[in-house]
Structures are given as structure tokens and as C-alpha cells.
């Protein structure tokens, strides 16, 4: 009844995630997924009804993965400066671990935002984070520049994510090989921390 079932379903899901992340929805064929999972082509539709349905499931997971670890940090009871540093570090590690994730999310949402459902509770969680309260208190007592969470968060995240999303361009543009880029990215990470803190914290 359900012995190897979850295994097969999960194998397809994991294979599909790998392929979708690398090639995008349009660049991925059902046969690519079946081959990556080393399973029969018909099983994709047996378990997930269609390529589109499978993609939507995976996209939801990927979007949660993108926000989840950041959320934990945003809610930690540490000072803002440390928090910014941890967010940047976390972003950095994520981009190294999953280099396709952010460009994948942005590209798919850019091409077809309407199909990727708005019932994401993660979005609400990000809006109602403890960092928001910290910022509001900081602004009130004059230690933080008067800004909203939605202005601050992208400033923290854009630096690291931008250079990794555009990794190939930056490598080409500034004539770096793989290890030179790695060193460069580390430098850039520290600049971002310092720059954002400089701007945000009115000490």
C-alpha cells in the first residue's frame, strides 16, 4: 500500500528541485526530472499530476527556505548591529550553499508573479518580526535613523545577494577566477556590514 511510496515521491521532489533550480521552469523537461531521479517518466504525473503542480509545490518550499533562516535571526534578542551582521553572514552562507536559489526565485516571480499564490504566511512573519519593534524603539530614542523595516531590510540583503546573483558578470567584468571571487565576496560582505551599520546606527 505505501511502502516505497514516500521514497519515490520524495526522490522525484528532490530531483525536481535540483533541476528546476538549475534550469528554471521553462528550461526543465519532465524527462530531465525523471532522469535526475532515475525513475520512469510517468511517475512525475502519477505523484504530482503535472509538471506545473510539481513546480508550484517546490517553489513554495524554496520560498520558505529563503526566508526561514533569516526569520530566526530577525526575532533573536540581540542588538541591531549584531543582528545586521548575522543577517549578512547568513545570507552569505546561503548564497554559497545554494547559489541558484535567489536568482531562481526572482526570475520565476518576475516572469509569472500571478501563479505563485499569495497565501504565504512567511511574508506576514517577516513583516511582524521583532526587528521591526527594535527599529521603532531605536527611532523613538534617537539611536536609529528614522526608517521602516521595509526600507532597511533590502539595504541589508541587496549587497551580498546582488554580487552572487551576478557572480558570472562580476567574474567576467573584473577578471576574477573562482577563488578570487570567493575572496572578493568576503571583502564585500564586510563592507556591507560596515556601510549599513554606519548609516543606520546614529550613535
Binding region for a second copy (CB under 8 A): 22-24, 26-27, 100, 103, 105-107, 109-111, 113, 118, 120, 123, 126-127, 147, 150-151, 154-155, 157-159, 161-163, 165-170, 172-175, 184, 187-188, 191-192, 194-196, 198-199
- Beta carbons within 8 Å of 29's beta carbon, 6+ residues apart: none
Asked if 43 is part of the footprint of DNA (rule: CB under 7 A), the reply reads: yes
Q: Of 7 and 124, which has the nearer Cβ to a second copy?
A: 124
The listed partner (DNA, a second copy, none) that binds 82, CB under 5 to 8 Å by sort, is none
Count of C-beta atoms within a 10 Å radius of residue 164: 22
Place of cell 541587496: 158
CB-based burial, 66-96: b 16+ in 10 Å, e otherwise: beeebeebbeeeeebeebbbbbbebbbebbe
Asked if 110 is part of the footprint of DNA (rule: CB under 7 A), the reply reads: no
Asked if 29 is part of the footprint of DNA (rule: CB under 7 A), the reply reads: yes
Phi-psi region of 49 (alpha: psi -120 to 50; beta: other; left: phi over 0): left
CB of 64 to DNA, least distance (A): 23
How large is the C-alpha radius of gyration of the chain? Answer: 20
The listed partner (DNA, a second copy, none) that binds 201, CB under 5 to 8 Å by sort, is none
- The residues binding DNA (CB under 7 A) are 1-5, 7-8, 28-32, 39-46, 49-52
Amino acid at each position: 500500500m505505501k511502502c516505497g511510496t514516500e521514497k519515490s515521491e520524495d526522490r522525484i521532489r528532490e530531483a525536481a528541485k535540483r533541476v528546476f533550480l538549475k534550469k528554471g521552469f521553462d528550461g526543465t523537461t519532465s524527462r530531465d526530472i525523471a532522469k535526475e531521479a532515475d525513475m520512469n517518466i510517468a511517475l512525475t504525473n502519477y505523484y504530482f499530476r503535472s509538471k506545473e503542480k510539481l513546480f508550484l509545490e517546490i517553489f513554495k518550499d524554496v520560498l520558505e527556505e529563503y526566508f526561514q533562516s533569516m526569520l530566526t535571526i530577525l526575532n533573536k534578542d540581540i542588538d541591531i548591529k549584531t543582528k545586521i551582521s548575522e543577517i549578512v553572514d547568513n545570507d552569505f552562507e546561503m548564497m554559497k550553499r545554494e547559489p541558484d536559489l535567489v536568482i531562481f526565485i526572482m526570475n520565476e516571480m518576475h516572469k509569472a508573479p500571478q501563479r505563485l499564490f499569495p497565501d504565504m504566511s512567511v511574508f506576514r512573519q517577516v513583516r511582524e518580526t521583532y526587528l521591526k519593534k527594535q527599529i521603532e524603539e531605536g527611532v523613538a530614542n534617537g539611536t536609529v535613523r528614522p526608517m521602516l523595516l521595509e526600507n532597511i531590510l533590502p539595504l541589508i540583503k541587496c549587497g551580498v545577494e546582488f554580487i552572487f546573483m551576478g557572480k558570472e558578470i562580476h567574474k567576467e567584468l573584473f577578471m576574477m577566477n573562482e577563488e578570487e571571487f570567493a575572496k572578493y565576496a568576503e571583502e564585500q560582505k564586510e563592507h556591507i556590514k560596515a556601510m549599513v551599520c554606519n548609516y543606520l546606527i546614529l550613535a
